[in-house]
Each structure stands twice: as structure tokens, then as C-alpha cells.
Homo-oligomer: A and B are copies of this chain.
Amino acid sequence: MKKMRLLLVVLFAVMFAETVKADRMNSKYAIVIHGGAGSAISNEAFVAAREEVLEQALDAGVRILSKGGTSLDAVEQVIRILEDSPLFNAGRGGVLTAQGINELDATIMDGRTRACGAVGGVTTVKNPISLARRVMTETRHVLLVSEGADQFAAQLDDPAIEIVAPEYFRTEKQVERLKRVKEREKLTTKEKMGTVGCVALDRNGNLAAGTSTGGLVNKKHGRLGDSPIIGAGTYANNTTCGISCTGVGEDFIRHAIAYDIHARMHYGKQKLESAVQHVLKSEKYPIVGGMIGIDLQGSITMQFNTDGMARAAADSTGLRVIKAGK
């Protein structure tokens, strides 16, 4: 009799666990990507080429999330694809410093635990977003910069952390661009920017956010913008939202923009959409750029106060947006 009761209890427990699991697998997911805010792009071929990469990245993220994968994995994989493309200011396509080299920044953050990792001023790592994730999981630190970050990368025996020669990042386009900026310094602020980012909500209800960039063209050696700064360019917290920013990093640092969106929701009871709108439109925040975010209900926002922002989004209800022009 006792054995029978035990068996029944175990049976019910297994059934209950399976139901919970099925519920989770049926629950929603959402993903949003940006490829940098800045000028509106009129070159149709360039827009089409960027949209193709955005689509590849979006599909990779959706594949992970729809199968029940984690938002952290989706964010990392999406950003790796954008970093591998020379069409975005991150990884391969990163802009050059005043000294003509690439110094790359990236951050990743887990909204469930608030674990995070970031790297700044990296010069030899093909995918800075993956190195940021290794800082999160393999060290007791949050932020490693410059030579120390490159040294950490070299010590890892990890296929995701590919070491490349600095020339890998030196695309003809960026060399030309730096020359143009140095000769004339005529690029507008909006033309100098660019960053990639991704926020995802997985079927377990966990948010994650990540950002990766080459920074500002013609920046000083050693300059870090908002992208490697938790709370400035990137934040994720399961109780409110995940956020990734793009724009003039200094202003995003000064006003801790990504954390400010969380705080507006948490302390000010604002909705994600209106919190982001307020920050991008208020004169109190002299912010030039854009933001993407997802709240814990899976609502997606993509906003910018520049002329354009490359962006893409998808979710389990069938939403699908890909735009690289304006």
C-alpha cells in the first residue's frame, strides 16, 4: 500500500513536471537587433546587403529561441554574425582609432542573475561578444580592457575565441573613412556612430542583452564608450527589461541610459515603450542615437532620434521586421 502511494506521488510529480515544461516550451519568445543608429542610408545596394546580414542574424536567433534555447545563447550568436560582417561597426567592420587601429568593445548580460561580462579596447579577438561572455563565466571580474583583455583571450582554449591579426579588422572602407575624417573632420556626429546589439527573451522567461562596437571613428587610443559599460549601453533584468543602446556613447554613460530605463520601469512604474520614448525625446537627455528593448511580457521596442537605425525583430506570435534604410 505504501509502495502504491509512493508510486502515485512519483507519477503525479512527473506528469506535473512535464506539463510545466510543455507550458514553458509553448510560452513566448522575442528577439530584437540593432545595427547602429545614424544617418538614413539611400544607397539601395548597401541597404539590401545589410538587410541580408540582419536577416541571417535574426534567423539564427529565432532558431535558438524557438527550440527553447537560452536568450544568452541567442544574443551571443546573433552578435557574432553581425561582428563577422564588414557592414556593421563591430568586429570585422569596426572603425579605426586616430592611430589607425581597431579597438573593440562588447558587453553581455544575463537578466536572470545579473551576471555580466564586458571587454574594452580589444585588438586581436574576432568576436568580442564571446570574449565578454567568457569574462562573465570564466573570471571573477566583470570588465577587462586593452592588453589585459587580449592576454585573457590568448590564454583561453576555446574555439569560440578565435585570435586574429589586427589586419583582419582593417577593411579598406574604414581606412578610407579615417583618412576622410582626418582630412576634413566633416562627418556629422550621426555619421561617426554605429554599434550592434541584441536583446532576447527566451521561453523560460529569461531576458539577456548584448552590445558590440568599434566605437567612434578617429577616437583616442584607450577611449571606451558606453558599449562595454554595464548600465550605460547595455542592461538586462528579468524584473523589467533588456536594453541595448547605440549612439554617442559619452552621453549614454553620463546618464546611465540603459539602467535609467530599468529604473523608470522599476521605481517609476513606466512602460518600456514610453520610458525609451521619453529618454530619446526629452531635452533633459541630450542623447543622439537609438535603443532596442524587450520587457518581461515580450513587448519589443525599437526607437531612435537619428535619421535611421538598422534593425530587425521577431517573436513567437509571428512578428517579423527587417529594416536597414531609415
- Which residues on A are within 8 Å of B, measured CB to CB? 114-116, 120-121, 139-149, 151-152, 219-225, 229-232, 235, 249-250, 253-256, 259-260, 263-264, 266-268
A230 to B232 Cα, complex, angstroms: 9
Which of B146, B148, B151, B254 makes the CB contact (< 8 A) with A142?
B254
A266 to B266 Cα, complex, angstroms: 12
A263 to B121 Cα, complex, angstroms: 30
A219 to B146 Cα, complex, angstroms: 15
Which of B139, B221, B232, B249 makes the CB contact (< 8 A) with A151?
B221
Q: Chain B residues near A229 (CB, 8 Å)?
A: 143, 229-231
Q: Chain B residues near A260 (CB, 8 Å)?
A: 259, 263
A144 to B97 Cα, complex, angstroms: 13
Q: How many Å from the CB of A92 to the closest CB on chain B?
A: 22
| Interface contact A219-B264, CB-CB below 8 Å | no
Q: Chain B residues near A220 (CB, 8 Å)?
A: 139, 141, 144, 148, 152
Q: How many Å from the CB of A33 to the closest CB on chain B?
A: 24
| Interface contact B146-A145, CB-CB below 8 Å | yes
Q: Chain B residues near A141 (CB, 8 Å)?
A: 219-220, 223, 250
| Interface contact A222-B149, CB-CB below 8 Å | yes
A264 to B264 Cα, complex, angstroms: 10
| Interface contact B140-A250, CB-CB below 8 Å | yes
Given contacts A120-B145, A152-B222, list 13 more A-B pairs with CB under 8 A.
A121-B145, A140-B250, A141-B220, A142-B249, A142-B250, A143-B223, A144-B222, A145-B224, A146-B148, A147-B222, A149-B222, A151-B221, A263-B264
Q: Chain B residues near A120 (CB, 8 Å)?
A: 145, 224
Q: Chain B residues near A114 (CB, 8 Å)?
A: 254-255
Q: How many Å from the CB of A96 to the closest CB on chain B?
A: 14
| Interface contact A151-B222, CB-CB below 8 Å | yes
A147 to B139 Cα, complex, angstroms: 23
The 10 closest A-B pairs by CB, nearest first: A148-B222, A263-B263, A231-B256, A146-B146, A148-B221, A267-B267, A267-B268, A256-B259, A142-B250, A143-B224
Q: How many Å from the CB of A215 to the closest CB on chain B?
A: 10
Residue of B nearest to A97 (CB): B148
| Interface contact A230-B259, CB-CB below 8 Å | no
A142 to B254 Cα, complex, angstroms: 8
| Interface contact A145-B222, CB-CB below 8 Å | yes
A142 to B257 Cα, complex, angstroms: 15
A145 to B224 Cα, complex, angstroms: 7
| Given contacts A220-B148, A222-B146, A263 and B253 within 8 Å (CB-CB) | no
